[in-house]
Amino acid sequence: MASDADIIQQLTALARTETGDAKARVTALTALPGHAGQSYSFDLEACSASGVVTREKLVLRLAPEGVRIAGPADVVRQARIMQSLIGTRVPVPPIKWLGDDPRWFGRPYFVAGFVAGDKLALGERSFSRDEQRALARATVEMLADLHALPWEPRRAVWGDPLTLADEMARLDTLLDRPTLDAKVVGRAPKLRERLRATFPPSPRVGCLHGDLQWSNCLYGDGRVLAVIDWELSQIGAVLIDLGWLCFFSDRETWVLTELVPEHVPEPDELAEIYRSRVAWPVTEADVRWFRAFAGYRFGVITAFNLMLHRRGKRPDPTWEDIALSAPRMFERALQLLG
């Protein structure tokens, strides 16, 4: 893995080329938390051709080293998706530079503006009950606005629509592995059968984030300042996002509840906020199916990542704690399906 000194040197070369200032300086490089790729914040000082000195705080996102550039590793796609949302009601960090020219970092990258905000889950700031509830409502309303966007003009960037059968097939490649811990997998195969037998017939299709949870939103001034981490975004059944947000708001799903902010509304209330914001019908049965699908999806992802961690392929002890809840995720999902 490249050292911080290497990253500073590479960033400086990129910044000097992009700004035209041969003396541009990169300082205060700081690694940011996350599970996909590498992210750093840094300060950039540069002088324009007219002699004006600018100082700004930015974020560098790099694709993981040594992996195929596709899916979550395709950071350039993520940047272009965020660019496609500029000017909408969905706030995203401004993208400054992006590319896959290997002369800079040897892998794809993007540089975005740093958004100084707090998170409702695992954040440094403690929001009051009323603040959490107001921000939760704003989050759901923003989500509804994302789902209402015309997806056809964004198809070239976002990709072709994926069906629920496509989603289930992608998860099959993770679940059907003999190296997974059987105790963690629990009743996932039974849940898979139930989900396939009860597919919603005509789900609303649109742009969706794919990982819309409280820790992927930055808040401040009583509003959503930015939505981050677009690596799982797609065109598909938009209620995947609502089910996912409800999943991360349902304390009955979790053994360790740190990912659930203390005062966010219950899933049924979140669904009602969403229903009141959108122009298409959202039935209770639909919400329950997508909540169950979220439990299955995250449970399978957890079992897979735990296996990678334990085999030393992608060490991350966080999955040991999350995996304590995996059997409950599958049980809760079966309960929701009735």
Cβ neighbours of 222 (radius 10 Å): 9
**Lookup: tokens for 326:** 């995996």
DSSP 29: E
Q: What is the pLDDT of residue 257?
A: 82
DSSP of 124-184: SS---HHHHHHHHHHHHHHHHHHHHS-SGGGHHHH-S---HHHHHHHHHHHHS-TTS-HHH
Nearest to 291 by CA among 162, 200, 173: 200
DSSP 6: H
Q: What is the pLDDT of residue 34?
A: 65
Write 263-266 long-range contacts (CB < 8 A, 24+). Answer: 263/127, 263/128, 263/129, 263/132, 263/133, 264/120, 264/132, 264/133, 264/136, 264/214, 265/133, 265/136, 265/137
Q: What is the pLDDT of residue 26?
A: 97
In which order are the strands placed within the sheet that holds 38-47?
25-31, 38-47, 53-62, 109-113, 95-99
Nearest to 88 by CA among 136, 34, 150, 133: 150
Q: What is the pLDDT of residue 70?
A: 79
Q: What is the pLDDT of residue 37?
A: 57
How many angstroms separate the CA atoms of 217 and 277, rounded?
A: 19
List the CATH code of the domain at 129-337: 3.90.1200.10
Q: Which pLDDT tens digit goes with each residue over 137-165?
A: 999 999 999 999 999 999 999 999 999 99
pTM of the entire predicted model: 0.94
- Average pLDDT rounded to a whole number, residues 262-283: 96
How many angstroms separate the CA atoms of 238 and 194, rounded?
A: 20
Answer whether residue 330 shows pLDDT above 80. yes
Q: Which pLDDT tens digit goes with each residue over 59-82?
A: 999 998 777 777 778 999 999 999
Q: What is the pLDDT of residue 239?
A: 98
Domain boundaries, the chain: 4-113, 129-337
How many angstroms separate the CA atoms of 39 and 71, rounded?
A: 17
Q: Is 199 helix (H, G, I), strand (E, B) or coil?
A: coil
**Lookup: tokens for 273:** 């906020």
pLDDT-derived band at 56 (thresholds 50, 70, 90) equals: very high
Q: Which pLDDT tens digit goes with each residue over 96-135?
A: 999 999 999 999 999 999 999 999 976 666 889 999 999 9
Q: Which pLDDT tens digit goes with each residue over 171-218?
A: 999 999 999 999 999 999 999 999 999 999 999 999 999 999 999 999
Cβ neighbours of 270 (radius 10 Å): 22
Pick one of 3.30.420.40, 3.30.200.20, 3.90.226.10, 3.30.750.24 as the CATH number of 4-113: 3.30.200.20
**H or E element that contains 42:** strand 38-47
- What's the number of CA atoms in the CB half-sphere (13 Å) around residue 216? 22
**Size of the chain, expressed as the number of residues it contains:** 338
Rg (CA), the chain: 21
Answer whether residue 306 shows pLDDT above 90. yes
How many angstroms separate the CA atoms of 320 and 313, rounded?
A: 15
Q: Which pLDDT tens digit goes with each residue over 158-176?
A: 999 999 999 999 999 999 9
Answer whether residue 249 shows pLDDT above 60. yes
Cβ–Cβ < 8 Å for 159, 135: no
The label of the residue with tokens 């976002």 reads 158
**H or E element that contains 102:** helix 102-105
